[in-house]
A and B are shown apart, each in its own frame.
Chain A
Amino acid sequence: MGHVVIDVMPKTEILDPQGQAIAGALPRLGIDQFADVRQGKRFVLAVDGDVTQEHLAQARAAAEKMLSNPVIEDVVSVRVLEADGR
């Protein structure tokens, strides 16, 4: 079974309250090396057999039409999940 991975991030110019909350909380745990945090989301779509170009095209359509809100988010990647999980 193959997998397609879609990563979606809030547009860089858009406020990301969740990321800000994390950025604010990290130093309280002593993790203080990070200047900023932005939080996105990942979708993993499974297909029977290997991932084909057609699967990727459909995944891109899904990413644009449903998995992201194009007004405030960018689809940053749509790619095949490698066997080693990368």
Chain B
Amino acid sequence: MSDDQATMTTVLDTVDVAQTSPDAEQPWQELGLKQDEYKRIREILERRPTSAELAMYSVMWSEHCSYKSSKVHLRRFGDLPQETPRGKQLAGIGENAGVIDIGQGWAVTFKIESHNHPSYIEPYQGAATGVGGIVRDIMAMGARPIAIMDPLRFGRIDHPDTARVLPGIVAGVGGYGNCLGLPNIGGELVFDECYQGNPLVNALCVGSLRHEDLHLANASGVGNKIVLFGAKTGGDGIGGVSVLASETFDADGPTKRPAVQVGDPFAEKVLIECCLDLYHAGVVEGIQDLGGAGLSCATSELASAGDGGMSIELDRVPLRDSSLRAEEILMSESQERMMAVVAPAQLDAFLEITEKWDVEATVLGEVTDGEHLVITWHGETIVDVPPRSVAHDGPVYQRPMERPAYLEELQADSTARLDRPASDEELRAQLLQVLGSPNVCDKSWVTDQYDRYVRGNTAQAMPADAGIVRVDEESGLGVALATDCNGRFAKLDPYAGAQLALAEAYRNVATTGAQPLAVSDCLNFGSPEDPGVMWQFSQSVDGLTDACRELGIPVTGGNVSFYNQTGDTAIHPTPVIAVLGVLDDVSRHASSGWQQTGEPVYLLGEARDELDGSQWSAVVHQHLGGTPPQVDLRAEKGLAEALREAVAGGAISSAHDVSDGGLGVALAESAMAHDIGAVINLPGAAFVDLFSESTGRVVVTVPDGEGSSLEAACVRYDVPFAKIGVTGGDSLVITDRFEVPIADLRETHQATLPLALDGR
């Protein structure tokens, strides 16, 4: 905090004081506000803001909270039909998380968010509190959190800073999630130079609830009490969201070191159970989580979602550090706190439940019949604002956009000029090279640190294409989830890149036999002040919107992370897409490994000569250029339908998506899963067949005698198919080309991460 502010608060800066001292210097610039934004606050209030109001506006109008650069683009998601293939959404974009109906009276809610900047500064706590935050979003909807996933992206695997941040981030995700008792059912691990200095830590949580338990947080009903419950408020992460998520780091690393938040997963576990208890007892009108921007956000959002009037006595907030000033209390991002709206008649019952869980609960104020959010400090008014002006009517920017100049040259530099393997021996060697590369290799080093099966409802987790958790233990109803993004493709073409990410996640969900229903997105980009980045962002949103419309699934929520860049160098556009699908019975799902010998192997979909942006081009030639594989959403939809029908009818014994690395990698992974090889006759040119990353392809095996049902399903949905081999043996045999014993595949696949991260 600046000296200005310190001197200013020696006398409490009340609304009265603000009125009589219009010309007092205010540290708006240090708090990240632009001059015209500060001017606008003065116009809204018709006076200068108090220091507490300034603190609230500055955090709520930060990029992270206000979406001021992305809002004009994100509106396009709202134009999509707000329904899934299973019916209307129960809650959509704008709530803490979207809620969708999955049938049998059950609903699920899921959301993905970023915690990139805090994780760069303090890897363990940054990643841990990222998990904690997304879990609270799910709790706020009235749901029980049932699983988490974490897509992670780092710089080069051999860079010293990767060694600094990766172990801490993985341990943080695992530490928090494991202590909460939530299974981690998947995610991604990607290494690319562009994330050097800007690692991406995205976290997804999914929760389940009965329809009748859905709770939308808003403060309506005059006289209803506003109750803060959970952990005490300390000085953690003050200004974290505005400072961390809205600033570019200097090339030499973090110079600003704001207080980072430290999480306590055991406190959060108690909060989960306490919230569920409160919902079931019917003693809350609504619950809001406290995340970024803490009390500033919770009070202004709750009040604006209601009728607008709310009074809060800020000095009642239980503090961990009694020296905190009012502005700091408003900005604190202390973890594991929630805010509830409670009818006066229910208050005793509410407090009885929080007491049972040993959770501190304090009535801070109530809903009033006014239109302002009024906050007092020892009886004096320090905040008196229209809540919508803080929470929703922040600045909205139409940032300049421009197609980056480099793109022409980048797209012209295709893989056509690269040497392709000249002999079968080289083909074999390059397959192994790709299989052992950091982005394709075995990820157990990371996923083994996560509890994948706690709660006993996990039907499938990493390294499967999609994670599956059961929702209803009686009927077996459950959900399948996958997150994907290929930033290399998005760099070459951000419109297609977003669609490719969606197509891959959609296909991964479909390989299990699930029906894809909805999308949540975490859009990670560079600085919005760079017209090239803004163009990438807009293109990605367009691509995603158009693709969702074609596939008939809505975007139910998500998050935008800007300023992921070091100096002038932005990360690849990284629109991480999560797709959720439903399985009527999770025990009838397909997994990706071959389980029986003697089964025919089919390739659904067709390979084209599409090597631009591929893992092969990255690993063998360190090349990125050209145009990404063609997107065919109609084909993806048909493929998903065919898979769903075939899995449900028992015509598929395994199904594995073909993506990173191509068919060669997919075959190797299916073979390694249960030590069952195959003899494969490639339908076309061996190199293209093995390494192309054409979309819309899945390798499936078929139980004895079911070939004709699979083929019939493919014909019905217009899916090209080819029978390419038979499972069996202890090698992957590419007929007339080469063979590799599974043991060798495994050795190559498993060696990379331990060697890079443990040195052995």
Partners in one complex: yes
What is the interface of chain A, defined by CB distance below 8 A to chain B? 10-17, 20-21, 24, 69-72
Name which residue of chain A comes closest to B334, CB basis. Answer: A15
Give Cα A16–Cα B234 distance, bound, in whole angstroms: 10
Set of chain A residues within 8 Å of B264, measured between Cβ atoms: 15, 17, 20
Determine if A71 and B335 form an interchain contact, defined as CB atoms under 8 angstroms apart.
Answer: no
Name which residue of chain A comes closest to B262, CB basis. Answer: A15
Contacts A20-B264, A71-B121, A71-B122; A13 near B335 (Cβ below 8 A):
no
**DSSP class of A's interface residues: helix, strand, loop or mixed?**
loop
B737 near A: Cβ within 8 Å? no
Contact among A15, A24, A71, A72 for B320, CB-based, below 8 A: A15
Determine if B122 and A17 form an interchain contact, defined as CB atoms under 8 angstroms apart.
Answer: no
Q: With A14-B236, A17-B267 given, name 7 new contacts (CB 8 A).
A: A10-B262, A11-B259, A13-B236, A14-B260, A17-B266, A70-B257, A72-B262
Contact among B121, B122, B235, B267 for A13, CB-based, below 8 A: B235
Set of chain A residues within 8 Å of B261, measured between Cβ atoms: 15
**DSSP class of B's interface residues: helix, strand, loop or mixed?**
loop
What is the interface of chain B, defined by CB distance below 8 A to chain A? 121-122, 125, 231, 234-236, 238, 257, 259-264, 266-267, 320-321, 334-335, 358
Set of chain B residues within 8 Å of A69, measured between Cβ atoms: 122
Determine if B321 and A12 form an interchain contact, defined as CB atoms under 8 angstroms apart.
Answer: yes
Give Cα A42–Cα B112 distance, bound, in whole angstroms: 40
Determine if A72 and B234 form an interchain contact, defined as CB atoms under 8 angstroms apart.
Answer: no
Set of chain B residues within 8 Å of A72, measured between Cβ atoms: 122, 125, 260, 262
Set of chain A residues within 8 Å of B257, measured between Cβ atoms: 70-71
Set of chain B residues within 8 Å of A71, measured between Cβ atoms: 121-122, 125, 257, 260
Closest 3 CB pairs of A and B: A13-B235, A17-B264, A15-B262
Q: How far is the CB of A8 from chain B (nearest CB, A)?
A: 15
Determine if B262 and A14 form an interchain contact, defined as CB atoms under 8 angstroms apart.
Answer: yes
Q: What are 24 inter-chain pairs, A to B, with CB distance below 8 A?
A: A10-B262, A13-B321, A14-B234, A14-B235, A14-B236, A14-B259, A14-B260, A14-B262, A15-B236, A15-B264, A15-B320, A15-B334, A15-B335, A16-B262, A17-B267, A69-B122, A70-B257, A71-B122, A71-B125, A71-B257, A71-B260, A72-B125, A72-B260, A72-B262
Q: Which of B234, B238, B261 has the most CB of A within 10 A?
A: B234
Give Cα A71–Cα B254 distance, bound, in whole angstroms: 11
Q: Which of A17, A21, A69, A70 has the most CB of B within 10 A?
A: A17
Set of chain B residues within 8 Å of A24, measured between Cβ atoms: 358
Set of chain A residues within 8 Å of B260, measured between Cβ atoms: 14, 71-72
Q: How far is the CB of A62 from chain B (nearest CB, A)?
A: 18
Give Cα A12–Cα B262 distance, bound, in whole angstroms: 12
Q: How far is the CB of A6 from chain B (nearest CB, A)?
A: 21
Give Cα A71–Cα B261 distance, bound, in whole angstroms: 10
Give Cα A14–Cα B236 distance, bound, in whole angstroms: 6
Give Cα A36–Cα B35 distance, bound, in whole angstroms: 43
Contact among A13, A21, A70 for B234, CB-based, below 8 A: A13
Set of chain A residues within 8 Å of B122, measured between Cβ atoms: 69, 71-72
Set of chain B residues within 8 Å of A21, measured between Cβ atoms: 266
Q: How far is the CB of A55 from chain B (nearest CB, A)?
A: 28
Determine if A13 and B266 form an interchain contact, defined as CB atoms under 8 angstroms apart.
Answer: no
Name which residue of chain A comes closest to B257, CB basis. Answer: A71
Name which residue of chain B comes closest to A21, CB basis. Answer: B266
Q: Which of A11, A13, A14 has the most CB of B within 10 A?
A: A13
Give Cα A20–Cα B262 distance, bound, in whole angstroms: 13
Name which residue of chain B comes closest to A69, CB basis. Answer: B122
Set of chain A residues within 8 Å of B231, measured between Cβ atoms: 15
Set of chain A residues within 8 Å of B125, measured between Cβ atoms: 71-72
Q: How far is the CB of B401 from chain A (nearest CB, A)?
A: 36
Give Cα A14–Cα B333 distance, bound, in whole angstroms: 11
Q: How far is the CB of A41 from chain B (nearest CB, A)?
A: 15
Name which residue of chain B comes closest to A17, CB basis. Answer: B264
Give Cα A20–Cα B334 distance, bound, in whole angstroms: 14
Determine if A17 and B262 form an interchain contact, defined as CB atoms under 8 angstroms apart.
Answer: yes
Set of chain B residues within 8 Å of A12, measured between Cβ atoms: 235, 321
Give Cα A71–Cα B260 distance, bound, in whole angstroms: 7
Q: How far is the CB of B271 from chain A (nearest CB, A)?
A: 13
Give Cα A14–Cα B257 distance, bound, in whole angstroms: 13
Determine if B234 and A15 form an interchain contact, defined as CB atoms under 8 angstroms apart.
Answer: yes
Give Cα A14–Cα B234 distance, bound, in whole angstroms: 7
Name which residue of chain B comes closest to A12, CB basis. Answer: B321
Set of chain A residues within 8 Å of B267, measured between Cβ atoms: 17
Name which residue of chain A comes closest to B168, CB basis. Answer: A69
Set of chain A residues within 8 Å of B321, measured between Cβ atoms: 12-13
Give Cα A13–Cα B233 distance, bound, in whole angstroms: 10
Set of chain A residues within 8 Å of B238, measured between Cβ atoms: 13
Set of chain A residues within 8 Å of B234, measured between Cβ atoms: 13-15
Q: How far is the CB of A75 from chain B (nearest CB, A)?
A: 15
Give Cα A21–Cα B260 distance, bound, in whole angstroms: 20
Give Cα A69–Cα B125 distance, bound, in whole angstroms: 11
Name which residue of chain A comes closest to B259, CB basis. Answer: A13
Set of chain A residues within 8 Å of B262, measured between Cβ atoms: 10, 14-17, 72
Give Cα A24–Cα B637 distance, bound, in whole angstroms: 55
